Structure 1
């Protein structure tokens, strides 16, 4: 039963230590919580001169007895609740819980805050401490708790219902964990809640309608979960709500009409759901709105707006972000990134001088938006240069222009943007040196990414000013020279990516100051010297890639070097030692430096002598060889010194038993060379009959035998193959690797040969896979070789266009008589890339009446990838799970890195297979972009995709 306690306190009497309490309708107490804590302490403190009335004295005694003992019990219950919370912790990498012991008072435990007077737990804040485990229901016993913050850990299982008994709770922040189950429906019992953030978890079920009773709520975030059902109209009753984030869930239905009553709403995002219908008209009158994002849904209609969005007459004067893309709006609207919405950016865009966030292609007068602080225009097909006027945006904090086709140099004016904390210009065609002005921006603290461009020159010494930067990525450019010692001044670096450049020399010892590094990639450079010992002492290092350089000496066996899954050192032939799993040669560590020097001198002398003798013998041999005049000459400039007779013996006289392939104008035989037992494949280009016994008219290509056959066999396995069909499938990563291999090969033919070679017939059957599934292209340059002999082959075969390629893979201009070009190979590669990801041949029966493989993929991007992806990929295991887990929910596209990469590869395929040759990419650019995408798939998660959310308390 409850009791009504009416207290009359007189300030003068209070100061005189005389306390009068009148208890009316006195009944028995249910719990201590029916009396304020401060009152119970006051009653114990101010006991002088109690009232003379027996009733009052009796009541006073009762109150005193019921408050003295529970005060002690309350403290004890808090300690026990915390210990029960600790008991559920299964992972504690930083040993945080070691401080939670009886040697100190629990109010001094890490993450625990108590009230000053009553010593009860008011805050439990364990943010980003690498804890894992389930949430203990004993949290519900922390009855004075006002803030529970467990952001950025790995807690799992369900949210205990007991949390809903925390009547004083004001902030509940469980973002960035792995919590599953449903949102507790009775969370509304915590009526004082101001902030609820459960973003980036694995929550399911529906949003409880009872949350609409939380009248004090200002922030509600359920980003990146798997919530389904409709958005409850009752949320429109949250009159204090300022921020509502429901991005990347599986919500459906419509935007409730009641949301027009959220007068204090400033941040609203429902991106990446399947919301339909129209935007309620009252929402356009929410004058405090600053960010309005309904992209990636199925919003339709004109939303009561005809013509262009009236930017200059908007009823939302504070609007900073307006994102409507990936919907089905009619009429003209702002054309945002990653969308197909039609219409133009209004000329009046330059009049929005209060605009703070902009997300669409770069407008001409961007420099006039001097209040702009966030600018996203990533993942478009933007051409041209970055306007120099962008340097006028002195309030800019985040600039993201990655994955476009921007050209020219990086504007020096960006050095004026002194408030930039994030700059991402990666995956473009930018050239020239890195401006020192950019590296001089000491404000950069999150990411500076310039990767996958064509930047040249040395890394400027001004890099030393990036003392606050978390991630530096200059990979896949053409940077050269020594790594500057000043790089060691970037003491906040967590990730450093230098791969794919021309850096040389040793790793500077000054990098030993980068003790917080978690990822370091310096692969594919010309670095030399020994592997620095200081890397052993980097306790946080989880990814180290030094492969394909010129390092030498001993590999350490401690620290990160003990983990074979974390280090990569292949392609450094002079390295030795290390743990046995690296399979490197042993080092001779007993040799003294003096003995080593003598040994080196001896080796040099011996090698010089041997070289001299060998040179003399070689000259004598050549002279004798010249004197032996053959009756006829063999094919000149042969890369392999194989005689016709040796090939004849290797193939058992071109026996039908050795025939492994038969084409329109060539036959392929398997053979074994007598000299070394090497297994070869011989592709005969001329008719065997009629050749003399020496094979003077014989032409053939001799390859290493590819035991895994062709890509055709893997993409479209024959029903009658001996192996189970599942044995002939390539998973996603393997397909990406093969695509990179083929791109590298075409780049070599187009740009690295003395005479440019055009393949003319790239298709899956001409891509061969060795024992390690490395892709090799065959039949390159046959058009030139065969046309030189004036061979005349039929062009009437169903799958052949003679010397100009194969139907489906040959570019459209070849059918109109255009000359052969490298652009034709790029087209074939684009079709091949689309086929590898969809599993559909370009000659599939469904492709008729204007529909083609190119158009099918184009129509499906970016949100319907699941409909066109090869079904095999939905079953194949990939890194961190299966593609099935990743792709079954198409609304997770923006949240999943694999699907993002899949979309980017599809875009490359579409660009390469464009109808106009001038719109196609160059193979060098294809290699750069694909390598970068592959690195993204294999490397650790990026910092700025990590633990921060828009709702993080205290940030």
Structure 2
């Protein structure tokens, strides 16, 4: 019986093999083909040469980056990075159903993440970071229940963080850094107990940090920097006993730091809360975090003394307490430095922008030999620089400028041969510049300015061949500028030797400085002529030679060779010549000072000489001519010399020639007067019945377009004040410069935009003129009502004639201007037959009449849109060029971006913030990480009075009751919030014009009288 059973079992097994194995193999083969097609069709996508191994000569499992399983020959991993693969991820990606690891990092992918990624049920790791993907994180990704790591950093993903992340119970790593995510951090994320890394930095997240994150006991990295998070750091986060990196910098967090960090974060590696509003005492117990490697609490409002127990942090590498306001100028402020000498791994120390007093102790030489950066600038440290500084041989940056150091520069500084930046500016250092400075051969920046240094410039400076910036100004240096020294520094970009007692000529070797952009030699005792060799410094933008003893002629090469010059100062010398007309050719020159020399002859009138605010000629008694504003005497014509009597034959010849010439001239004049003029195209304003004006009338109305009538210039032309009998009030004539690209289109756009529109807050167009001038050249101009109070730009910042700004432009007036412009935009966007997008809303295009009513003008870039009036997705148009002015251009209006009414709202929001702060969006304080929008957003509500323009509060100074002060502050915050809401990065988040008007009216009602 048993044998019979065995026989049946073997027979059945053979039959199974016979019937089913072939079909299974076929199925596997078909599945493999599916994987191959999924790879080939979508992941090479037009770049066949980028993956040469992906061809038919190899099995797809042998292709670069592909790993297959042993049993099924299905793709189990795909790993490609740092290549120019390109293309998109298509739906066939979902066919790789056996894949566990999908890593396509930095391979130039674009498009959206396909929803089919949710079919990859076996997926453990998804890394698509460092690409150009956009769109939202697909919700189908929640189906990948086995996933453990998601890396989507550095793309352009938008939308909110999906709440379903809270259901992915195996997720260990979540990296969405550097995207455009908005909204809040979902509290459901605290349910994913397996999470070890949360990286959400560099997004637009707001709201509070959810307390639920404190439940993630396995969390090692929490990176939330560079968002808009607010509120206090949740106390629940102090339960994260395994945390190693804690980075909450660049947010709007408030409150104080815990004092028991040693109990909270025993495994902390990096603790960063820089650039927030954290307040309270220094966390003394941080000294117990013996695993700590990075400690950064910069730019906060902490107080107290620095503990003397920091030496316990023997693994500390980074110590940053800059910009916190520690210290009180006392003798013991720096006592804590002795404890830092025990931190043998310390490589970076930042103590800048505090109030530390006392002297720098000799024990500084006992710091770690790994120390590379030492920043102690902008404190009150006094005494001498200790010789022991030379023991820090690995230093690459030594910045101790803007302190009270005195004595000489120590010779031991010559031992710091790895030094790249040495900043000793703004102290009280005396004596000579040590010769050993030439040992610092890798220096790129040397700052010794604003001290009391004396003696000559050491010739050994020639050894510092990598120097780019050299600051020696405002000392007592003397002697000649050494020959065969600066010629070796051919990488110099900035050279400042001004305000010393240097003598002799400018060395001809300065001509070797081909990269030099700024040269300051003013206020010395230099003499001789300007060397011809300077003509080789083609990159020069600033040349300051004022206050010396230079003589001779002003060289012609300044105008013919140095075409990049923006500032030229030759004042206070002994130059004696005419002013070369070549200087008119310097198109970038905006400041020219030739005062107090011995110049004579006619002053040019073009280029920089056409602007009274740009030139200074005082102290040259023998000049004449120039533009009328200079009020110089006219240049006298030299009388013709008397000739001897001409022989009779010569008189006959002269008469014949003269007759021929007169005949030719007469024929030309008759031909010109009788020829047909160019056919004039009828402008839109004429079609609508406006008065017709001629070129001659406008020429007469503006005194021949005189510079004395010039009231402003723009990108496409100039505006002149004038008067015509037809119009009761003065007019403004905008003359288009038709040589400028786009000027003709601007003329048509502006005539079309304003021809049919009538609104109290739009500049009223009176007529357009399309004609020819007296030379027969095309002439186009637009005539507006003249606005006697000027534009908002000049009222806020002063005009280009350096007249001071209007200090009486208070908050009430600015609020009225804001309302006027909002009404104008509401009319353009919602109340016209076609939606009009202005495309260039900025202060210089906001003009005020006698009553202070604001009018929006300059429609040269305006666009007409079709469709619904309020903001629909269809109500936009693609622009092939960037439209607008830098600082006011909305982010979406890049090349090929969408032009829509929301773009005007963005520009309007920036305008409001500029009115609030008195700062232009292009102010020098704003860099890559800080914009006018973010600057204001970081300061509200508590710091609102720190950022407002003081002139804005002039009318409220007399009444300083707490009730009034509180009411004003509330109104300022409301005004700031409107500007911030209008200038949000994403168009859909910006306010509507009607809502803006309602909010501004609400402020006006609350504002104290």
TM bucket normalised to smaller: 0.3 to 0.5
Tell me the TM-score normalised to structure 2 length: 0.44
Higher relative contact order (CA closer than 8 Å, sequence separation 6+): 1
Tell me the TM-score normalised to structure 1 length: 0.46
